[in-house]
């Protein structure tokens, strides 16, 4: 691991204070320096770092040193609690529609892991709820994307609705939804086109699909390996589409997850799931406390 863990940093910074009765302002300043550096290294957005260290230091100044815990341990505990609070405290599930189908619209840049995630979440719902999902292939710009969704559909035994690449995505979604109503599917996944970068045409198309489908969930998929870029992407997708949740993929890599912390703080939207590998079973419901431990190291 390329990083020194935040916990180790704090332990080191505080080791000299072990015998003191109180944590002073100067001690806290020293600790905050370590926290700031560690969070920046973990790819947390600098503004988020600033707000965060302020909250931690407000709580840390003047804490009594308990016999059972060293000052460092107490501050690590405060940091852990504040990290978890920033990440959202509780896990948040899918927004379900009171009437079937629950419509889940996917969004994100190309390569973020959108199509793979459709397969993962659809299978997860099949296993946990006996769900009968329909997958709609709305990415008409890459024939390979339709093929990829069809292969996924076969793997998990879920129907895929597609009309090739000559029909507009909005029309595909319209007809796909009709099929879902007719077949009483309980979940509909709308896979949409990604681009290498955010562009107006893409956003316009996503807004049109949103307006037509009125989705219960608009999930943005971001690549957790891209750090601060993922935060920028999340910010602009949220601004344009008012997303309902975020999926952070590729957390099986050695990224520390700082992007997750920033995304939640910058967009105010919950992270709902994480992707931890290329296999369809590599999906986890997002647990803020686990992510906090990962960032603390």
Binding site for ligand GDP (CB under 6 A): 108, 110-116, 194, 221, 249-250, 252, 275-278, 282
Distance from C-alpha of 80 to C-alpha of 90, rounded to nearest angstrom: 14
- Considering beta carbons, is residue 55 or 111 the nearer one to ligand GDP? 111
- Considering beta carbons, is residue 262 or 276 the nearer one to ligand GDP? 276
- Considering beta carbons, is residue 110 or 179 the nearer one to ligand GDP? 110
Q: Is 191 annotated as a binding residue?
A: yes
Smallest separation (angstroms) from ligand GDP to the CB of 7:
26
Closest residue to ligand GDP: CB criterion:
275
269 φ/ψ sector (left φ>0, alpha ψ -120 to 50, else beta): beta
Smallest separation (angstroms) from ligand GDP to the CB of 113:
3
3-state helix, strand, coil in the chain (%, to 5): 55, 15, 30
CA 184 vs CA 43, 69, 157, 180, 215: distances in Å:
44, 57, 16, 6, 16
- Considering beta carbons, is residue 34 or 217 the nearer one to ligand GDP? 217
Q: Is 234 annotated as a binding residue?
A: no
Q: Is 235 annotated as a binding residue?
A: no
Distance from C-alpha of 177 to C-alpha of 98, rounded to nearest angstrom: 16
Q: Which two tokens stand for residue 6?
A: 């935040």
Give 158's DSSP letter: -
Q: Is 59 annotated as a binding residue?
A: no
Angle subtended at Cα 130 by Cα 284 and Cα 90, rounded to the nearest 5 degrees: 35
- Considering beta carbons, is residue 8 or 284 the nearer one to ligand GDP? 284
Q: Is 112 annotated as a binding residue?
A: yes
Is the separation of the CB atoms in 297 and 3 below 8 Å? yes
Q: Is 163 annotated as a binding residue?
A: no
Smallest separation (angstroms) from ligand GDP to the CB of 142:
8
- Considering beta carbons, is residue 277 or 297 the nearer one to ligand GDP? 277
Q: Is 250 annotated as a binding residue?
A: yes
Q: What is the DSSP string of 25-57?
A: HHHHHHHHHHHHHHHHHTT--HHHHHHHHHHHH
Q: Is 145 annotated as a binding residue?
A: no
Smallest separation (angstroms) from ligand GDP to the CB of 287:
16
Smallest separation (angstroms) from ligand GDP to the CB of 25:
43
CA diameter of the chain:
73
CA 45 vs CA 12, 51, 228: distances in Å:
24, 10, 7
Smallest separation (angstroms) from ligand GDP to the CB of 116:
3
- Binding-site residues for GTP: 108-115, 191-195, 249-252
């Amino acid at each position: 691991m390329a990083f020194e863990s935040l916990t180790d940093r704090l332990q080191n910074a505080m080791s000299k204070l072990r015998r003191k009765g109180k944590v002073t302002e100067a001690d806290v300043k020293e600790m905050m320096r370590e926290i700031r550096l560690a969070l920046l290294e973990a790819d947390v957005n600098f503004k988020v770092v600033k707000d965060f260290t302020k909250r931690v230091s407000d709580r840390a100044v003047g804490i009594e040193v308990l016999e059972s815990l060293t000052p460092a341990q107490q501050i690590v505990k405060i940091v852990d609690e504040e990290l978890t609070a920033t990440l959202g405290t509780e896990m948040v599930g899918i927004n379900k529609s009171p009437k079937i189908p629950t419509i889940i619209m996917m969004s994100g840049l190309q390569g973020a892991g959108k199509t793979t995630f459709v397969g993962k979440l659809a299978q997860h719902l099949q296993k946990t709820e006996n769900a009968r999902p329909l997958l709609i292939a709305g990415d008409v710009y890459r024939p390979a994307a339709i093929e990829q969704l069809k292969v996924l559909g076969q793997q998990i035994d879920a129907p895929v609705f597609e009309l090739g690449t000559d029909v507009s995505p909005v029309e595909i979604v319209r007809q796909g939804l009709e099929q879902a109503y007719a077949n009483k599917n309980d979940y509909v996944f709308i896979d949409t086109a990604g681009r290498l970068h955010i562009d107006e045409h893409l956003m316009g198309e996503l807004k049109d699909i949103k307006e037509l489908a009125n989705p219960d969930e608009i999930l943005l998929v971001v690549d957790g390996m891209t750090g601060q870029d993922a935060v920028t992407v999340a910010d602009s997708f949220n601004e344009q589409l008012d997303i309902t949740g975020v999926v952070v993929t590729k957390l099986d890599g050695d990224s520390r997850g700082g992007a997750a912390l920033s995304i939640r703080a910058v967009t105010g939207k919950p992270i709902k799931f994480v992707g931890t590998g290329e296999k369809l079973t590599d999906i986890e419901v997002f647990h803020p406390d686990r992510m906090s431990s990962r960032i603390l190291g």
